[in-house]
Amino acid sequence: MNANPTVVSPEVDYQRIVYPYRRSADQDAHARGDVARHPVVVVGAGPVGLCAAIDLALQGVPVVLLNNDGRLSVGSRALCFAKRTLEILDRLGCGQRLVDKGVSWGVGRVFFRDAQVYQFDLLAESGHQRPAFVNLQQYYVEGFLVERALELPLLDLRWHHGVTGVESRDDHVALTVETPDGPYTLLADHVVACDGARSTVRRLIGQESHGRTFQDRFLIADVRMNAPFPAERWFWFDPPFHPGQSVLLHRQPDGVWRIDFQLGWEADPELEKRPERILPRVRTLMREASRAAGGDGAVPDIELVWASVYTFACMRMDSFRHGRILFAGDAAHGVSPFGARGANSGIQDADNLAWKLAAVVQGRAPLALLDGYARERELAADENLLHSTRSTDFITPKSEISRVFRDATLTLAKDFDFARRLVNSGRLSVPTTQYGQPAPDAPIRIDGHDDWLLRQMRPGRFTALVFDTPPPTKGGQRVSLGPEWGLGVQEGSPMPRGEPALGLPQGDVEVRPPRELPHLPHEDEPVLLRINDASDPHGLVRARYDAEPGLVVLLRPDQHVCARLHHPTAAELHSAMRRALAHDVALEETPACR
Amino acid sequence: MPLITSPHFDAGDDFYEALLAAHQGLDPAQSHAFNARLILLLANHIGRQDVLLEALSAAARSTSSEAPPAGAASHEDPHERT
C-alpha cells in the first residue's frame, strides 16, 4: 500500500487538490512479463466507486480502485444526500463528517408564479439519527471518502490509472490500464464499473444505456452570497423573475447557494454560462425572493463560484451484470436531477453490491448472488427512472394541454390537499422497497448508553433482531406512541400528545421467548441484537418493526430486511440466510455444483 | 366497481345547465383551464384507478366512433389529401 502524503487537513481545498500519480508494483510485474491478478478492481473513484471499494475493503476483500485523473468532482453537482445514503456512509465511517460539514434540511416550499402554494416536511417524525437530507458539494463527499479509503490497508487507490481496454475471459477480466508510465495489464476476478454517465468500460464492451433524452436546457449556478433564507428547498413554477420556466434554490455550506434555472431548448449554452448573463438572473431572483420572504428586496453581494449548462436523459443499461463486470451508478443508469436520485441511487447500488461481491469472493455464496444485485438494482433504477421522468414531465410540460393540467394542479394546490400531492417538483429520493425494505433506524440503549440501531451492525454480517418482550402496554392494551413520534395514534388507545410511552407496566400479553437460536459457522452467524424493555426503552424499535415477542427480523449486511420469522427454529433461520445468499438458486440452476 | 355509464345523475339537465353557466364569460383558454381543474377535482373524488382508466379509454373510444379517428386516417396515404 502507498503511504500517502496527500492526507489532508480539514481546511484542504478539495477543488484544487490534485492527487499524484504513483507507479504500482503491478506495473513492475508487467515490465517483467508477469500479470497481476486481483479479486476485485473498481473503475472510477467518484462517490459510487469510492463507496464500493471502501465497503469491500471493510469486509476483508482486497480491492484496487482505478481513476483516470487525480481530481475530485468540479462544482457542487450531486449536492443532496438522502437519509438512506447517510446511513450507508455511516456504515462506511464517513456519515458524521458529511453531517457536520453539510446543511441539514427537510422542509421544501413550492411557489407558483408569485405565491407559495404549499410546503412539506420530508421527515416530520423524531427518533431518527439522520435528517431527511444533507446538502454538501460533491467534492467534499469525495474528499472525505478518499481520506477514509486511505485508512484502509486493503484498498489500493490508483490516481491517473485509466482503463483503455477490457476483455472478458472465462473466470476473470483482463484490463488494459494507461498511466503516465505507459500501459499495463491487470487481471481481475470481478470488475465493478463506476465510471460515470460516459462509462468507458460500458463502451469498451459494446453496451449502451437506453431511454429518453429531454429537449431542455438547465443552468446550474453556485453563488456565494449572504442571503437570509432558511435551509430549505425552494422551487418556483413560472416565477415572475423567470417567466414560463422553473427555478430551484438550495443552500450549501460555505455561504454558497445552488440555483437551477430552466432555460428551454433554444437557449445557447455557451452564452448562458457567462457571468454577465447569470448574475442579473440571480439578482432578480434574490430581489423577488427577499420580498416573498417579507424582506425589503435588497440584493446582497453575489459572487459566482461555478456554473454549468446541462441537458439530461432518463436511461439505463438493459443489464447491470455482464459476466464478471458489474455496473453501478451513472454508468448503469441516468436520471434527471429532479428528486436527487443520481448519486443517492448510485451509492445504494454500491451498498447492495459490496456485501454480495464479498460473499462471492470469499467463497460464501455462488455467482448467482451477483444476478441478485443486477435484478434488485435494475428494479430500483426503473423506479427512479419512473419518478424522475414524471417529475420532468410535470416541471417542463411538453405540450399545451400538459401545461394546462400542470397549471390547473398548481392552482388547485393552493386550496386543496389532494392537488398538493399531485404537484411534482421532484419526488425526493427514498430507497426502493421493491425487494425488501431498508431497516428503519431507531434509538436503542446498549450497555447503559444511548445509541442507534443501525450502528450495531457489523461489516459483512447479517444481524438478527430478536424481540424478547412485547411493546410497552398500558392496562393490558398495546400502547401506541403519540403524534410527536410521527407514528400516529392507534385506534382504541389514544395517547395524549407529549406523553411518552416510557416505563409503563406490562399488561397480560403472553411472553414467549424465542427458541434457542441456531449456531452457524463463524462469519455466517448473524449478530444477535435483543430488543426488549432494556434495549428499547422508548418502544420505537418494536413500533417500527411491528414486533411481537418471539419475532426475529433478519437483516442483510446492507441493512435490508430479508426475513421476518416467528419463533424460528435453527433450520428456518439458517434457511433464510442461505436464501439471501442465493445458495438455493445455485442448487436449482447448477445441481452439479454440490 | 366498473365505470357507471347508465344514467346516474341526480338531475342531469340541471347539471348540464350549471356546467354551461360555469363557462359563461370565459375565453377558450380560461374554459380550458376550468375544465382541467374540474377533471382533477372529479378524478380525485372518484379516486379508484380502475374506474379512472376505464373513463379515460371510454372517452377516447367515444371520440373515434363518431368522427373519423386520427388513427384510421393515418392508415391512408396522407399525401393524397393535400
Report which of residues A228 and A556 the model is more confident about: A556
Q: Is the CB of B37 less than 8 angstroms away from the CB of A416?
A: no
The residue in chain A having the minimum alpha-carbon distance to the alpha carbon of residue B34 is A408
Report which of residues A114 and A327 the model is more confident about: A327
Q: Return the pLDDT at A178.
A: 98
| pLDDT band, very low/low/confident/very high, at A585 (cuts 50, 70, 90) | low
Tell me the per-residue pLDDT of A306-322, one tens digit each, with 9 for 90 and over: 999 998 889 999 999 99
Q: Return the pLDDT at A574.
A: 85
CATH code: domain of residue A164 = 3.50.50.60
Q: Is the CB of A408 less than 8 angstroms away from the CB of B36?
A: yes
| pLDDT band, very low/low/confident/very high, at B67 (cuts 50, 70, 90) | low
Whole-number percent of chain A with pLDDT over 70: 87
Same domain, residue pair A44 and A63 = yes
Chain A residues lying within 8 Å of B26, measured CB to CB: none
Q: Return the pLDDT at A509.
A: 31
Same domain, residue pair A300 and A164 = no
Same domain, residue pair A63 and A76 = yes
Judge whether A273 lies within some domain.
Answer: yes
0.90 cut: is pTM over it?
A: no
Same domain, residue pair A378 and A521 = no
Instruction: Tell me the nearest-neighbour CA distance from A404 into chain B, angstroms.
Output: 6
Which of A311, A341, A361 terminates a domain? The answer is A311
Q: Return the pLDDT at A523.
A: 59
Q: Is the CB of A408 less than 8 angstroms away from the CB of B33?
A: yes
* Residue-averaged pLDDT of chain A: 86
| pLDDT band, very low/low/confident/very high, at A551 (cuts 50, 70, 90) | very high
Q: Report yes or no: A56 and A31 within 8 Å, Cβ to Cβ.
A: no
| pLDDT band, very low/low/confident/very high, at A323 (cuts 50, 70, 90) | very high
Tell me the per-residue pLDDT of A253-303, one tens digit each, with 9 for 90 and over: 999 999 999 999 999 989 998 999 999 999 998 888 777 777 788 888 999
The CA-atom distances, in angstroms, between A115 and each of A247, A283, A327, A402, A408 are 14, 19, 44, 21, 15
Chain B residues lying within 8 Å of A407, measured CB to CB: 33, 36
Q: Return the pLDDT at A228.
A: 77
Judge whether A504 lies within some domain.
Answer: no
Give the nearest partner residue to A407 out of B33, B41, B44, using CB atoms: B33
What count of Cα atoms within 13 Å lies in the side-chain half-sphere of residue B32? Answer: 11
Q: Kindly state whether B21 is in contact with chain A, defined as any CB-CB distance less than 8 angstroms.
A: no
Same domain, residue pair A137 and A252 = no
Q: Return the pLDDT at A471.
A: 62
Q: Return the pLDDT at B77.
A: 40
Judge whether A413 lies within some domain.
Answer: no
pLDDT over 90 (residue A506):
no
Chain A residues lying within 8 Å of B36, measured CB to CB: 404-405, 407-408
Same domain, residue pair A238 and A340 = no
| Structural domain span for residue A551 | 443-470+511-593
Report which of residues B64 and B38 the model is more confident about: B38
Same domain, residue pair A99 and A246 = no
Instruction: Tell me the nearest-neighbour CA distance from A401 into chain B, angstroms.
Output: 9
Judge whether A502 lies within some domain.
Answer: no
DSSP per-residue letters across A33-47: T--EEEEEEEE--SH
The CA-atom distances, in angstroms, between A413 and each of A106, A107, A263 are 20, 17, 25
**CA proximity to A112, closest of A389, A399, A395:** A395
Helix, strand or coil for residue A343? helix
Q: Is the CB of A408 less than 8 angstroms away from the CB of B44?
A: no
| pLDDT band, very low/low/confident/very high, at A338 (cuts 50, 70, 90) | confident
Q: Kindly state whether B23 is in contact with chain A, defined as any CB-CB distance less than 8 angstroms.
A: no
Tell me the per-residue pLDDT of A469-486, one tens digit each, with 9 for 90 and over: 766 554 444 433 333 222
Which of A391, A408, A426 terminates a domain? The answer is A391
Tell me the per-residue pLDDT of A137-176, one tens digit each, with 9 for 90 and over: 999 999 999 999 999 999 999 999 999 999 999 999 999 9
Judge whether A21 lies within some domain.
Answer: no
What's the total number of domains in chain A?
A: 3
Decide: residue A426, CB within 10 A, 0-12 exposed, 13-18 middle, 19+ buried. Answer: buried
ipTM of the prediction: 0.81
Q: Report yes or no: B21 and B31 within 8 Å, Cβ to Cβ.
A: no
Q: Kindly state whether A430 is in contact with chain B, defined as any CB-CB distance less than 8 angstroms.
A: no
Same domain, residue pair A248 and A294 = yes
Average pLDDT over residues A492-501: 30
Tell me the per-residue pLDDT of A83-92, one tens digit each, with 9 for 90 and over: 999 999 999 9
**CA proximity to A312, closest of A452, A213, A435, A422:** A213
Q: Report yes or no: A389 and A212 within 8 Å, Cβ to Cβ.
A: yes
Tell me the per-residue pLDDT of A435-458, one tens digit each, with 9 for 90 and over: 788 999 999 999 889 999 999 998
Tell me the per-residue pLDDT of A188-235, one tens digit each, with 9 for 90 and over: 999 999 999 999 999 999 999 999 888 889 999 999 998 878 899 999
Instruction: Tell me the nearest-neighbour CA distance from A421 into chain B, angstroms.
Output: 11
Judge whether A14 lies within some domain.
Answer: no
Q: Is the CB of B32 less than 8 angstroms away from the CB of A407?
A: no
Judge whether A179 lies within some domain.
Answer: yes
CA distance A222 to A256: 6
